[in-house]
Amino acid sequence: MKRNAAFAALLLGFSVVATSTPSFADTNISIAGSTALLPLVKDASGAYQQAHSDVKISVSGGGSGTGINQVAAKAIDIGDSDITAPTHPELHDNRVAVIGFAIIVNPSVTVKNLTKKQLQDIFSEKITNWKEVGGPDQKIVVINRPRSSGTRAVFTKTIMNGIPVNESGLTEDATGTVVSVVKQTPGAISYAAFSGTHGQGLNEVSIDGVAPTDENILTGKYPVWSYEHMFTYGPPTGEVAKFIAFVAGNAELVRKDGFILLKDMKVTETDR
Amino acid sequence: MIALQARRSRRAEQFALNVLRLAAASVILAMAALLGYLAFEGTKTFYVDKFPLSQFLFSPDFSVDQNHPGAAVFIIGTLAVTTFAIVIGGPFGIAVGVFLSEIAPARMNQILKPAIEVMVGIPSVVYGWLGLTLLVPLIRTHTSSPSGFGLAAAGIVLAIMILPTVITLSEDAFRSLPPALKEGSLALGATRWQTIVRVLLPSASSGLAVALILGIARAVGETLAIQMVIGNATQFPSGLFSPTAALTTEIVTDMPGATEGSQLEHALFSMALLLLVIAMVLIVCVRFALRKRA
């Protein structure tokens, strides 16, 4: 009898805790996905939570594929991605910014410009020495991203034109790792988001004479860029919609983290 | 009164037994669920995507976006790094095992034993990181390898990681030998070295086989540490310093972005299933070696 009473009290205690939790934070927003977009979403969530104490936002990475999978499974509220999600018609595409991707080369290689054709030949390993493109006599070390990476999808789409990337290159799975490996390895070449490459002391080469700058992306001259997407299951509502608008409209944070404001773009693309 | 007490204690006993049975049953259930799920997901490559098993096992072309999930590179990669690790780490580990059980004075054991236990406790990401920051640059500057990533870096990291397993188990193998063997050999006038090589090593062989097989199992399953140094290149290793990839490293590299239900996801599950099969074969080998000893 006494034991039953204790059990009941325990149950009661649990239910009190359970029902009282929501009053600490009225809305929870969970976000995961692209590591390229991560810095912006993290900064924006900090600023948003400061202004709205009743909203709690949890942000994590995992990659574009993870973001799309998780939001399609309704496990999270927003899935961040560098690529579109054509196989998931139920997802609503909210574009929040534009990101450029630089071709990065180890500083020991003095080549300042590569043509699209030369890039295709390097990444399909038809060209294997820097001297073939006007550089020093040094072996080219190609560093790829994993097959499922959003960054790699953008690169193959805008540069490779359907030519398969040679898989015998090294593969590193995060922007940060790629940048540090290119920095350390003589002769290395790879590609990564501006937000990770600018100001790192790397050789960011021009493509067909066009330098990897925001200005050249706005005007449509530099080809390697994509929209950053924050996918929701169906059109966003309530605080989720407000937060997405906050991210896209926050000019200061967008620029600080190396992204380009949507409204600054002078060209548009439908399928990026 | 006494009868009542007896009945009560019998009931308590029954209850305790049932708890233990339930615990045992849940372990078996968890194993069965895991096996079933992996078998279900891991065979989708063959019955949903309709790829032949021979293509998965023997084709080196892993282009899932072009309908070609050949995993031969990863299978060979796993074999190569494991062989590398066991060729270096195996003899070395057995040598330390002999030293600990036959030669080292008790004081030495007191220092070495905890050191080996610490080696077991170091997380694999730490081994990988040390490999990335020390070993890879070392290989890059002292060999013809342009990047430093590759088979050698992964094999050396793995060899160090399997050492504790091989050392501990081979020491046990020597310690479990009947003392009369050693005493008899020494009494016949054999030196300590002769005793170790001609008497103890052959007698402990099945125990040493177990040590090596479990070392191999550890090497096959290791993921994070070697992913950081192997280079993750989808190509057969063409030399000691050539970048390549293993089954485990390929799974962890491409898993985060693999869309649910995609051929890539199915192929990765098939690799996981293959790893499980390899682990099971190795465990059967251990059982076999142990039975031979008994």
Q: DSSP states of B160-173 as a string?
A: HHHHHHHHHHHHHH
Tell me if A147 and B137 make a contact (CB, 8 A cut-off): no
Distance from CA of B12 to the nearest CA of A (A): 18
For the segment A48-107, what is each residue's pLDDT rounded down to a tens digit?
999 998 999 999 888 888 889 889 989 899 999 988 888 889 999 999 999 999 999 999
pLDDT given at position A245: 94
Distance from CA of A107 to the nearest CA of B (A): 15
Exposure class string for B232-243: b at 16+ Cβ within 10 A, else e: bbbbebeeebbb
Pairs of residues, one from chain A and one from chain B, whose beta carbons lie less than 8 Å apart: 75
Q: In B, which residues are within 8 Å of A184 by CB distance?
A: 137, 140
Whether B141 and chain A come into contact, CB under 8 Å, resolves to: no
pLDDT given at position A242: 94
Q: Output the pTM of the full model.
A: 0.81
Least trusted range by pLDDT, from B220-224, B275-279, B288-292? B288-292
pLDDT given at position B294: 54
Which residue in chain B has the smallest CA separation from A83?
B257
Give how far the C-alpha of residue B50 lies from the chain's centroid of Cα atoms, to the nearest Å: 31
Q: Pick from B66, B232, B256: which is nearest to A171 by CB?
A: B232
Tell me if A148 and B66 make a contact (CB, 8 A cut-off): no
Q: In A, which residues are within 8 Å of B147 by CB distance?
A: 141, 170, 181, 185, 188
Indicate if the pLDDT at residue B23 is higher than 70: yes
User: Which of A90, A142, A148 is the mutation pick for testing B, counting most B CBs within 10 A?
Assistant: A148
Q: In B, which residues are within 8 Å of A69 by CB distance?
A: 259-260
CA distance A24 to A175: 36
Pick from A258, A210, A261: nearest CA to A100 = A258
Tell me the three state secondary structure of residue B263. Answer: helix
Strand ranges for A222-272 from DSSP E: 225-233
Distance from CA of A254 to the nearest CA of B (A): 25
Q: What letter would DSSP give residue A21?
A: G
Q: Pick from B62, B147, B148: which is nearest to A167 by CB?
A: B62
Ranges of chain A with pLDDT below 70? 1-25
Half-sphere exposure of residue B172, counting CA atoms within 13 Å on the CB side? 13
For the segment B42-69, what is each residue's pLDDT rounded down to a tens digit?
999 999 988 999 999 999 888 877 788 8
pLDDT given at position B133: 92
Whether B146 and chain A come into contact, CB under 8 Å, resolves to: yes
CB neighbours (10 Å) of residue A9?
Answer: 10
Quickly tell me which residue has 């540090």 as its tokens: A180
Our separate counts of H helices and E strands in chain A read 10, 11
Give how far the C-alpha of residue B245 lies from the chain's centroid of Cα atoms, to the nearest Å: 17
pLDDT given at position A87: 84
Whether B74 and chain A come into contact, CB under 8 Å, resolves to: no
Q: In A, which residues are within 8 Å of B260 by CB distance?
A: 69, 72-73
AA letter at A182? V
Task: List the end-to-end C-alpha distance of chain B, in Å, as a whole number.
Answer: 51
Mean of the pLDDT values across residues B18-25?
94
Strand ranges for chain A from DSSP E: 27-33, 55-62, 78-81, 91-92, 95-105, 113-114, 141-144, 170-171, 188-193, 203-207, 225-233
Which residue in chain B has the smallest CA separation from A144?
B233
* pLDDT above 70 coverage of chain B, percent: 99
Mean of the pLDDT values across residues B134-158?
92
Query: Does residue B256 contact residue B99 with C-beta atoms inside 8 Å?
Result: no
Q: What is the dihedral of CA A247, A248, A252, A254, to 10 degrees?
A: 90
Q: Pick from B231, B254, B257: which is nearest to A170 by CB?
A: B231
pLDDT given at position B293: 61
